[in-house]
């Protein structure tokens, strides 16, 4: 198989010829047709994560081994199956759930592979992913039918879609007219707007540093927008008509975490999703006085993916703005994403598409 892989952090991806995996046991080989380019791919490409005063979390610290074909937003067709694989047939179009755990622990048994603390087998991070012609999936249970959803869009649901779905669920029961604040209007932010609308929410406040991205947020269905300059906290409170009770920070850097926290009212919930870097310092008495909740949210579960695909198949979930580029342009797309020149999502298109 051909793969476009990280061989050295910070260096251009290299096109490598690798042996095409042969599925064994319950494994399924997928011929990739589409693979989304996610902002988290940049952290792997660049070599790690900024932890503020805790230093940097390197790829080695995470157990990532190079060379690696990144890409965890994968759609494709079943190309081959191991003798114990069941429930799929050759040629079927599938979206791949990539956040695969050890398969043996309590969390994996409950379907929360993304929370596995034992031996994550995430595609595109710990195993070769979708920046390649083929990807090996450990079990057919991680494959969800495309069923008429545009494959390039369906691929993005394996990360962007389930990430916002999982984060929204963590807000709890929200009256449809209570404002939900979304910090960041990139691919995740636009997907979150679509997801909130699909789930019946009517007040959505989008915050971003880019006026162009805020226009895209308005087009997606945001009812209010805030340009992140000056006193952002005051602007958010004004847009909400009072202190915010539900905020999802899809950027989650030191600056956004600060103004998001400061905008919270009593009983408010801040869900932190992004991996932008830095750290957060908070006045501890306010946590108790205001009864605030701060919670991290890491991607989503297999059930999240099934729920998102069901919303899409039912026509309730508007499609994220997606543009496609040939797979061999993966490096150029990463550079555009790094430079903030991507609105919506770019999906790599393999020859098999």
> What's the average pLDDT block by block, 10 residues per block, for the chain (353 residues)?
96 96 98 96 92 89 93 98 97 98 94 92 96 98 96 96 98 96 94 97 97 96 98 98 98 97 98 94 96 98 98 94 95 94 91 91
> Length of the chain in residues, anyone?
353
Q: What is the CATH number of the domain that holds 324?
A: 3.90.180.10
User: Which residues on adjacent β-strands are paired with residue 345?
Assistant: 322
How confident is the model at residue 340, as a pLDDT?
87
User: Which residues on adjacent β-strands are paired with residue 78?
Assistant: 30
Residues 193, 341 within the same domain: no
List the domain range (segments joined by +) for residue 263.
Answer: 171-296
- Structural domain total, the chain: 2
Residues 33, 154 within the same domain: yes
Q: Where does 227-292 have alpha helices with state H?
A: 232-240, 254-262, 284-289
Of 291, 20, 21, 312, the residue nearest 165 (C-alpha): 312
How confident is the model at residue 62, as a pLDDT?
87
How confident is the model at residue 120, as a pLDDT?
87
Q: What is the CATH number of the domain that holds 176?
A: 3.40.50.720
**Residue 3 near residue 69 (C-beta atoms within 8 A):** yes
Residues 245, 310 within the same domain: no
How confident is the model at residue 124, as a pLDDT?
97
How confident is the model at residue 119, as a pLDDT?
85
In whole angstroms, what is the distance from residue 143 CA to residue 285 CA? 46
Degrees (nearest 5) of the Cα angle 192, 193, 197? 115
How confident is the model at residue 205, as a pLDDT?
98
């Amino acid at each position: 198989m051909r793969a476009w892989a990280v061989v050295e952090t910070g260096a251009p991806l290299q096109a490598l010829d690798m042996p095409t995996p042969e599925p064994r046991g319950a494994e399924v080989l997928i011929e990739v047709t589409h693979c989304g380019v996610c902002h988290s791919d940049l952290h792997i490409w660049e070599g790690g994560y900024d932890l503020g005063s805790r230093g940097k979390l390197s790829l080695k610290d995470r157990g990532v081994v190079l060379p690696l074909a990144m890409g965890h937003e994968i759609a494709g067709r079943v190309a081959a199956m191991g003798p114990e694989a069941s429930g799929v047939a050759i040629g079927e179009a599938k979206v791949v759930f990539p956040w695969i755990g050890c398969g043996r622990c309590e969390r994996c048994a409950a379907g929360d592979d993304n929370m596995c603390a034992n031996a994550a087998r995430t595609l595109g991070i710990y195993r070769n992913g979708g920046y390649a012609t083929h990807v090996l999936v450990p079990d057919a249970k991680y494959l969800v039918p495309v069923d008429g959803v545009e494959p390039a869009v369906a691929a993005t649901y394996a990360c962007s879609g389930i990430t916002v779905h999982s984060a929204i669920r963590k807000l709890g029961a929200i009256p449809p007219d209570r404002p939900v604040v979304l910090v960041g209007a990139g691919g995740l932010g636009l997907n979150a707007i679509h997801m909130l609308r699909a789930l019946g929410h009517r007040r959505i406040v989008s915050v971003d540093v880019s006026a162009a991205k805020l226009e895209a947020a308005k087009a997606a269905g945001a009812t209010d927008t805030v340009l992140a300059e000056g006193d952002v906290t005051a602007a958010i409170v004004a847009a909400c008509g009072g202190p915010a009770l539900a905020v999802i920070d899809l950027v989650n850097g030191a600056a956004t975490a600060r103004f998001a926290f400061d905008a919270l009212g009593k009983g408010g919930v801040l869900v932190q999703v992004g991996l932008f870097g830095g750290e957060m310092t908070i006045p501890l008495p306010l946590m108790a006085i205001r009864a605030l909740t701060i919670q991290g949210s890491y991607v989503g579960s297999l059930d999240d993916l099934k729920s998102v695909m069901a919303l899409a198949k039912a026509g309730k979930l508007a499609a994220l703005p997606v543009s496609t580029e040939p797979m061999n342009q993966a490096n150029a797309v990463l550079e555009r994403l790094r430079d903030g020149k991507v609105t919506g999502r770019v999906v790599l298109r393999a020859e098999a598409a």
